Chain A
């Protein structure tokens, strides 16, 4: 079955430090993968997507993610975190019929 796993429930980083949020997927074929961000009381905003081609994808707000088939991973990275990045981050994969299968989310806290 298609599934997406985010192993870290909470992560705390210092402002200005680098960030990596982990995502693992279980899909038969090449997956379509996404990262969304949710600020408190807000909806889900698309950060970036991977469909095919270049395995390093750039997104909005300075985020990037790398698709690694050998590790079944699609980790989200940012070189320098800002306090405004504090939010919950969801990795998702496209399932049958275009529905999204979400991971459990990772809550990012940024300390000054």
Chain B
């Protein structure tokens, strides 16, 4: 069964540094999402992306965050200047169409020191 893949599985970064989290959605999927889960808290929506532009973003997704689909397969989340509170598990998800369930990757655990 096709999977959403995320790299790296764990990223350790100094506060203030830029970090890029990478995702390869399922190949025929058209809608892409990033979520995050701070340790002990619920999974929260960050941003959705369709047709090469952001469809919706949450309050969390401020100017420090950006997303990009640089080629036909990758979908990236960039945090420009990381803060301690950005430490979390970040999940990528994708769907084929608007009424389909989301398929999630295994996540990237981001640790900011």
Contacts and interface: CB of A to CB of B under 8 A. Distances in A.
Given A102-B44, A104-B42, A97 B106 contact: no
A43 B48 contact: no
Given A42-B106, A43-B104, A51-B99, A97 B48 contact: yes
B20 to A, nearest CB: 19
Given A51-B99, A97-B56, A99-B56, A43 B105 contact: yes
Contacts of A95: 45
Nearest to A51: B99
A45 B107 CA distance: 12
Interface residues of B, number: 25
B44 A98 contact: no
DSSP majority for the A interface?
mixed
B76 interface: no
Contacts of A42: 106-107
B103 A46 contact: yes
Contacts of B75: none
B45 A100 contact: yes
Nearest to B4: A43
Max chain A Cβ within 10 angstroms of own Cβ: one of B91, B95, B103, B104? B104
B102 A100 contact: yes
